[in-house]
Structure formats: structure tokens, C-alpha cells
Amino acid sequence: MNHFENPEMFWLLLLPFLYRWIMPRYKSPQADALQIPFTKDIEIITTHSPLSRKLSWLKHRFFTVSFFWLYLVWIFLTLTAARPQWIGEPVRLPGLSRDILLVTDISNSMLEPDFILNRKYIDRLTAVKLTAADFIKKRADDRIGLILFGTRAYLQAPITFDKKSVQDILFNTDAGMAGNSTAIGDALGLALKTLRSSPNKDKKVIILMTDGENNDGSLSIAQAIRLAKQENVKIYTIGVGSDNIMGMSLFGIQIGRSSGLDEKSLAEIAEATKGTYFRAKDTSSLEQIYQEIDNMETSQNDEQYIREIKELFYWPLSFALMLATLLFLYQRRK
């Protein structure tokens, strides 16, 4: 689609006519050198009516060869000033990207087989891998990072658009690789340090997933919360595991033992950072949690569009220069 950015410039097309109308015609010093006594008589003979006189005056004043060529140059210069453009079809902008850091507990307790998938028991870490990988795949416009923690926290994948690499690292993770205890505070501290260099001031998100309590590390939960509020980072927390973990007695009788999950601290972290706390007791609830987080962190510019714009001013400008050059050469030859 063609378009003029400055259509008001077309008013300039009237300027040469106004100038010729108002300003007196130039007379050279030699104009009166040769006087013919019967010139006026010839003019009277050739002009038979007032209309003829008027048309003759207009032709003499405006429609000369030089004026015609100069006006063509002026037309193309006016087109140049009007800025002709070609505008393409509208293209929807992708959503504003977020920096999302997955902070995942891989302590030995994540090997507890209390999740069911396809009528088979699977351990917690396997369920987390499957659901988190699907979540990563859906966040096409976001940068994703991965921190794994147990006794210590390790940055396994920095914030990146390479979703495939993050998925591969997550799937190759084994429980116990980072130690047997759970250092939630240190993991959050490392996550906040990683996000500090992010250019997205208000679009930094941490998804913390654990099945235990903060029983190791140098950073407390309260200190981690204070740092998160200072960095303006939203934290979603997910408590993984059933209410009662089934164990085996000496006589083969299943008995329940309580989970070591610290739901109170996880809820405090989420509330203080304007996030949400979720409890995942089975595979379906874990999938639903990731879906809810995906809906909460939707892109904010889904309805914004952009059009490709190409400037075309150089075409009329080129014609104006070409005509001006031809007129210059014609005048010199004349």
C-alpha cells in the first residue's frame, strides 16, 4: 500500500503560480534597445477580443518552455517532501519476553515414587521433568534458565532463548547430584544473583520447586525474601509430594509417615514477592499448576501489530535531479 507521510506538502504546488502572479516579470537591460514604432499596432491586430487578450497574457506569463520544465522539477521536489512510502501488511508482534528461572530441588527425597503416570508409579523428579519440559516448550517468547539445588545450588543453564538445551539439561539430571539436604535459601540467592543482570526490570520470575524444608546453606528464608523484594522478582513456589509418604513396615504392612515439606515458608516466599504458592500432590495437579503459571504470566502486547515501511522519496528526487540537469544543458546550448 502506498502512502504519503506528509500530504500537506502538496500545497507547495501552488507556490510557483503565486510567485509568477505576484512578482513582476524580469526585464533585461537590452529589452528596450530595439524599438519598433508599429509594435502596438501589430498587437491590436492580432488580439480581437478581451478573452483573447487574457489568454495571450496567461500564455505569455506562465506557459513558457522554461516555466514548464521548472514546474516539472518542482512537482517532483514536492513529491519528495511529501515522503512517499510503501507500507506492508500488518504483522503481530510476539509477546513481551520474560526471564524465567526454574529453581528445582534434586535432593534424594525427590526419588520418592508417589506420583502416578499412565497407571504406574513414578518418582517426583521424573514428574517434574515431564511437566517442566512442557512448560518450557510453551514459553516461546521468554528466556529460560535452570538452577538445580540440594545441599548446594548450581546454575546449570543461564537465562537463554535456547529452550532445547535447558530441556536436555533437565532430563539428564539425577537426584542426589547436588547433595542430600535442601538449601532453599542459597538456591534463591543464586537465582536472584543470576537475574540481577537481566534487562527486564519488571519481568523477572522464579519458579521454585521443592519437596522439603530449608535445612542447609548459609542464607535463611527471611534473607532470601528480603533480597527478592529488593530485586523486584516475583517467585512462584511449588510444594511437591503427597501428604503422607508410604513406607514399609517390618511385617510388610504399609504405614504412612509425614512429609518434610515446609508449606508455611513456601507460602511466605510467594506472598511477599507477589507470587503464588501451589501444592502438587500428584501428576495432574502438577500439570495444572504449570498451566496456571503459564496463564498468569501471559504476554502483554498480544494485540499489537507492526507494518514494514519502505521510503520511496529517492524516486521523485532522482527524477527532479534528472530534469534539472536536462534543463541546465538545454539552457546552455540555447
284-302 pLDDT, tens digit each: 888 898 888 888 876 554 4
pLDDT over 90 percentage in the chain:
34
DSSP string, 70-85: HHHHHHHHHHHHT-EE
Burial class (CB in 10 A: 0-12, 13-18, 19+), 178: buried
**pTM of the complete model beyond 0.95:** no
21-70 pLDDT, tens digit each: 776 655 555 555 545 554 455 455 455 545 455 445 445 555 566 777 88
Assigned C-alpha cell, 98: 520474560
* Residues 155, 169: Cα–Cα separation, whole Å: 11
Residues of the chain with CATH 3.40.50.410: 99-296
- CATH architecture type of domain 99-296: 3-Layer(aba) Sandwich (3.40)
Mean pLDDT of the chain: 80
